[in-house]
Structure 1
Amino acid sequence: MLAASCTEHQSNTVSLLPEPKMPQLGERLQKLNSRYKIRFLPDGYPGKLLEDNTIYPHPLYGNYVLNDYLSQYKKEEKKELYDAILKVADAAISRMTEKDSALIFWYEPYKKFRYDEPFYSGLAQSSYLVPMYKVYQLSGDEKYKQASEKILNSLMVPIEENGIFLNYNGIVSIEEKPEEPPTVILNGWLSALASIKRYYNLSSSEKALKLLTVSLKTLPGILYKYDCEPYKNTRYLLSGYQQFRMAIEEEDELEIQSIKIKNTETYIYELEAKNKSERHNYHNYLRAEDVEKSENGYAPLANHVHFNVVMSRLSFPKKNVLYIDVYNQEENNTLELQRLKYHFSAKKGVVNNKEWLIDTTLILQQGKHHLEIPLYWEKFPLVGYPTTFKKLGDEFYNVYHFIHINRLKQLNQLAQNDTIDYYINKWEKYTSQWPKMEIYEGLNHHAYK
C-alpha cells in the first residue's frame, strides 16, 4: 500500500513548527517565493505559510520543490539534494490516498481557499507524473514508478464518480477543479495534457498515450470558445457568474414558484434561498434576505429580489436560458428582470460596476406564468473571464495567456493540427497589440521568465 487515508495526515493547516534542514531552493523558485511563501513541514513536505502562522500543505507545492531539486541535482549531484528529493517524494506520497488503483492528493476544505468539500485537481495530480517517474529513474526504487502509474489512473476517474475526467458533448478534458457546470479551465486542461505527454516520453506508457490522444482530438473543436477578441486575450475558463434581480411593482401580489438556469445542453439548476454565509459567486442561489418560504415557493419581502446564476460557454454559441415560474394575483403587475453590470480589470478580473441594467420587462396578468428568458451572449462578455495580470517581483505579468500559447505549441508537436496552429498564431499576435490598449497600460506585455 503506497499511502494511508488522507484523514491520518496533516491535510489541513498545521501550526508553525521548526523546519527540517532542507537544501536551498533554486534561483527561479526563490524569486517566486515571496508569493508562494514555501515552508517545510516536519516530514519534509513543502507547504504555504499563511497569515495566521499556520502551514497549509498545498497539493501543488510538492511538485514545485521536487522539480526544483531535480533540476539542481542534474547540474550538481550533491548527496543532500538526493536525500531531499526522496524526502519530499515520500512526504507527497504519504499525503495521498489510494483508491481503486488511483493515488490522489486531496484538497481538504479550508475557508481561506473557499473549498466547500474535498476534491482533487487534474492540474495538481498530473504535475506529479514526471517528477515521480524521474525519482524512480534516479533511485531505482519501484515505489516511485508505481506512484506515477497510480497518479495517472487518477486522471481517468469520471467526474460522476468524484473524479476529474470530463466526457461531455464531444469534449474530453481533465478538469482542474470539478464543478457543475464544468469550468474547463484551459490552463489546467492543457497543463495536464502537457504533463501526460512528457510522462509518456519518459515512460512509454500506452495508457498515457491513449488518454493524451483521446483528449487532444477534442481540443481543436473547443478553442474558439476561449478566444476573447474584444480584449485581445484568451478566456481562463468557460463558466462565470451573473447577478440578477427582479424588480416587482406589487411584490405582495407575486409568488416566485421557481427560478432555474439552463447553462449547458444537459445541466439545469433550480435556485434555492441561501444566507450570506452559505453562498459565493459560483453558486446558484436566491438571496435569502429577500424572500420567505411560501406554500408553493417564495414570497418576496421587498420589491427587489436578488439572485445569482452560474452561466457556461459550454453551450456557446447556443444561449443559456432562465426559467422563471411565478403566480401573480393582480392584473397588470410589472416585473423587470435586471442584470448587474461588470467590467474587466486586467489586474483584478471581473469587477462589479454597481449598476443595474434592464434586461427584460414584462406586464403580468393574473394567474400562473412560465417565463423562458434567453441570455444573449452579447450581454455577458465576461462570462468566462479573460486572463489577468499578476504581480511577480516589481511588475505585473500575464502568466496564463502565455501558458495557453506555450502548452498548445508543445501539444501540437504531437497533434499536428491546423486549427490549433491557427489559434497559436492568433493569440501570439494579440500580445503585440497590448502596448496600444489602454486597459493594459503600465503592465508588462511579455512572458514572465
Structure 2
Amino acid sequence: MIGHSIRKRIGLVRRPAAIRRSFPSSLPPLPEARQAVYEYYRLDFDANGCPMRRMPDGRLVFHPILIPYLVADYLNLYRTTKDPACLDYARQVMDMALSRAEPGRDELLFYYEPEGGLTAMPHRFYSALTQSWYVKSLAQLEKICPGAYREQLARAFASLLIPIDQGGVLVRRDFGWLVEEYPHEPPLYTLNGWLTAIRWVLEALPELEQCNLDCREFLRRNLDAVEHLLPLYDAAFCWNTRYQLTGFTRLKIVTDRRAGMTCGSFGIDIPGETPLQADLSPPAQSPRWHSHLERQDGRLLQFNIVQSMISYPLANRYRAEIRCDQDCTATVFVADGDYDPALTAMPTTRWREIGRHDLRTGSNQIDGDIPFDDRNIFAYPTNFKKKIAGRFYNAYHIVHVIDLAVMYAGTGRQMFADTARKWLSYMDHWPEMQVLADPQTSKTSHVYGDDLSAVVERYLSRPVIRTL
C-alpha cells in the first residue's frame, strides 16, 4: 500500500466523478486541434484547478506531461495575442506541477506510478520524454521571465543525466548515449521519446547554456547514437517505422513424443545487454515485458520472450536446461505474425522453426540463435490507435519525421534530412494499403493535416552548417 500523502500527490485520491471544471473564463480558447488532443487525454481539473486526467473509473490522476503541454500552448497564445492572462496561467499551472515533483531530490523528477493506471509498465519510473517537455516549457518561461525558472530548468535537464542503472533514463553505449522514454531492462530504445527529448534540449540550448550547463556533450553523444541506430527503425515492409527496437514475442519447444519434458531454466541473451532469465513460475497475469513460461504439458514448453534488434546483425540467443524421462527430438519455434494498425504488438498467427535438438533422458543444456528475418516484426511498427475527433491516427511515425527534420535544421547532420524525406515518402503508400482501408483510419497528421510535407520541407530546405 502507498501512503495517503503519496496518493494525494500523484492524484490517486478518489473524487466525485461529477466534478468537471474547465479553464478560467478569462483565457482565450485553444486552437481546435489542441482541444481535440486534450479531449483524447481526458483533461479535467481538481478542486484547486490543477490539470488532471479523468480515468475511466472516475478517478482524477495527475498526468505529468499535461502541464508542460498546457504551458507550451498558452505561451504560444501569449506570443500571438499578447494577453497577459495566458502567461499568468502558464506560470500558475507550472507552479502546480513543481509542487508535485518528487521531494528530496536535486533533480526535478516526475514519476509514473503503477497504481495510477497511466502506463502498462509494472514498475515506478520517470520518463525522458516527460522530463524533456519540462525542459522545453521551463526554458520558454525562463526566456520570458529571466531568472525566474533558471534553477528548475537546470534541475529538469539534470534528470536526463542519471544512468538507467541508478534509476534514471540515460543509457551509455560505445556508439553513443540515449535516453529512455520507458526505462526498462533490457532497454526498449523507444524512438519517439528519444528524438523528442533531443529536439527539446536542442530548442532550449540558449537558455540551458545561460544556466552554465554544458549540454553539448549530451547532445553530441545522443546525436551520434541516433545516426548509428536509425536504419534499424526502418519498417519499409509496411511503409512505416518501428516504435522501439525491443519487443516481446513467443518461443516454444515441442518434442516429437511424450517425454515428460520440464524446464529447469530458460533465458534470452541479447548481445551487449544483460542476460535475461525467464520466470518459470509467473503470476497468472504476468506482463509481456518480462520473459516467462506461459504453457507446459509434457510435450510443449511455451515462453513469452523479450528480444531486441539492438544487437543486429548478431542474433539474440535462447538457452535452456531441459529435463526428459526418455530420449526425444525437440523442435524450437518462434512466433510470427503480420502488421495490424489497430494493435500495439505483433499478433501470433503462425510459427517459424529455428532449431532442433536431440534430447537424452535426464538433464540437457540447449542453446541456439533466434535469427533475424526481413521484417523483425517483434520490434513492432507504429500503430494507428490514437483516436482524436472520431478518427484513428498514426501519431508516432509523423513524430519521427518531424523530429528528424527539426534535428537536421538544428545540427546540419545530413542523415537526418535524408531519413526524414524517406520516411515522409512512406506515407504516400498509406492510401493504397489494405490494412489501412477503414475510412476512419486517417492517412494524414492530426497536427499538420495536408500541410505536413510543406512543414517538413521548410526545415529541410534551410541552408545549415553542421554545428553538432
Q: Decide which moves more: 37-46 or 121-130.
A: 37-46
Instruction: Please state if 1:187 is matched with 2:192.
Output: yes
Separation of aligned partners in 2, 1:226 and 1:355: 24
- 1:295 alignment counterpart: none
Structure 2 unpaired stretches of 5+? 449-468
2:462 — aligned with what?
A: none
User: Hey, which of these two has a bigger chunk of strand by percent?
Assistant: 1
Is residue 22–residue 84 contact of structure 1 (8 Å, CA) maintained in 2?
no
Aligned-partner Cα distance in 1 for 2:359–2:230: 42
**1:133 matched residue in structure 2:** 139
Give the structure 2 partner of residue 159 of structure 1. 164
The amino acid across from 1:314 in the alignment is I
Give how far 1:180 is off: 1.0
Match of 2:465 in 1: none
CA contact (8 A) 1:122 1:164 kept: yes
Superposed CA deviations along residues 98-144 of structure 1, whole A, max 9, x for unmatched, are 555211011112263334221000000010112223323444563x2
Query: Per the alignment, in what secondary structure is the counterpart of residue 247 of structure 2?
Result: strand
Give 1:6 deviation, angstroms.
8.1
Aligned to 1:296: none
- 1:263 maps to 270
Decide whether the 8 Å contact of 1:43 with 1:87 is kept in 2.
no
Query: What's 1:368 paired with?
Result: 363
Native 8 Å contact 1:243 1:309 kept in 2: yes
Secondary structure at the residue paired with 1:207? coil
Q: Tell me which amino acid in the other structure corresponds to 1:135.
A: L
CA RMSD of aligned residues (A): 2.5
In the other structure, the counterpart of 1:293 is none
Aligned ranges for residues 34-73 of structure 1 at < 5 Å?
Answer: 34-73=39-78
Aligned residue in 2 for 1:122: 128
Determine if the alignment matches structure 1 residue 235 to structure 2 residue 242: yes
SS of the residue corresponding to residue 307 of structure 1 reads strand
Q: Per-residue deviation at 1:35?
A: 1.1
Query: 2: CA distance between counterparts of 1:272 and 1:89?
Result: 42
Q: Partner letter of residue 333 of structure 2?
A: Q
The 2-side partners of 1:59 and 1:13 are apart by 13
Q: Does 1:446 pair with 2:444? A: yes
Aligned to 1:346: 341
- Say which is worse superposed, 207-216 or 154-163, in terms of deviation: 207-216
Alignment partners' CA distance in 2, 1:346 and 1:97: 37
Q: Which residue type is aligned with residue 172 of structure 2?
A: N
> Residue 290 of structure 2 aligns to a residue in which SS?
coil
Equivalent residue runs for 1:32-431 within 5 Å: 32-98=37-103, 101-110=106-115, 112=117, 113-140=119-146, 142=148, 144-205=149-210, 206-249=213-256, 253-287=260-294, 290=295, 301-331=297-327, 333-378=328-373, 381-389=376-384, 390-431=386-427
Amino acid aligned to 1:316? Y
Q: Distance in 1 between matches of 2:367 and 2:246?
A: 21
Cα 1:266–1:339 shift into 2, 3 Å: closer
User: What is the identity, as a one-letter code, of the residue corresponding to 1:118?
Assistant: R
Superposition deviation, residue 246 in structure 1: 2.3
Give the deviation of 1:385 after TM superposition. 0.7
Structure 1: gaps of 5 or more residues: 291-299
SS at match of 1:280: coil
**Deviation (angstroms), 1:96:** 0.7
Which one is further off, 15-24 or 57-66?
Answer: 15-24
Task: State the SS of the aligned residue for 1:220.
Answer: helix
CA contact (8 A) 2:278 2:291 kept: yes
1:91 Cα deviation (Å)?
A: 0.7
Write the distance in 2 (CA, Å) between the matches of 1:266 and 1:170. Answer: 14
* Aligned residue identity for 1:320: N
Q: Normalising by structure 2, what TM-score?
A: 0.85
Per-residue deviation at 1:94? 0.7
Determine if contact 2:180/2:188 at 8 Å carries over to the other structure. yes
C-alpha separation in 1, matches of 2:224 and 2:351: 42
Distance 1:351 1:130, change over 3 A: closer
Paired residues, number:
432
Q: Secondary structure at the match of 1:14?
A: coil
Identify if the C-alpha distance between structure 1 residues 139 and 111 changes in structure 2 by more than 3 Å, giving closer, same or farther.
Answer: closer
SS at match of 1:370: strand
**Kept in 2: contact 1:283–1:310 (CA 8 A):** yes
**Using a 3 Å threshold, how does the CA distance of structure 1 residues 204 and 140 change in structure 2: closer, same or farther?**
closer
1:324 positional shift: 1.5
For residues 363 and 284 of structure 2, the distance between their equivalents in structure 1, rounded to whole angstroms, comes to 33
Aligned partners of 2:57 and 2:262: how far apart in 1? 46
Q: Deviations over 1:262-297 (max 9, x none)?
A: 12323211112244445111111113xx4xxxxxxx
Maintained 8 Å contact 1:69/1:85: yes
CA contact 2:129–2:194 (8 Å) conserved in 1: yes
CA offsets 1:369-394 (integer angstroms, 9 cap, x no match): 22122111118621211111233223
Q: 1:380 to 1:247 in 2, by over 3 A?
A: farther
Counterpart in 1 of 2:459? none
The question of whether the paired residues in 1 share the 8 Å contact of 2:395 and 2:445 is answered with yes
**Residue 26 in structure 1 maps to residue 30 in structure 2:** yes
What SS does structure 2 have at the residue aligned with 1:403? helix
The residue type paired with residue 136 of structure 2 is V
Q: Is the 8 A contact 2:153 2:208 kept in 1?
A: no
Separation (CA, whole Å) in 2 of partners of 1:435 and 1:380: 21
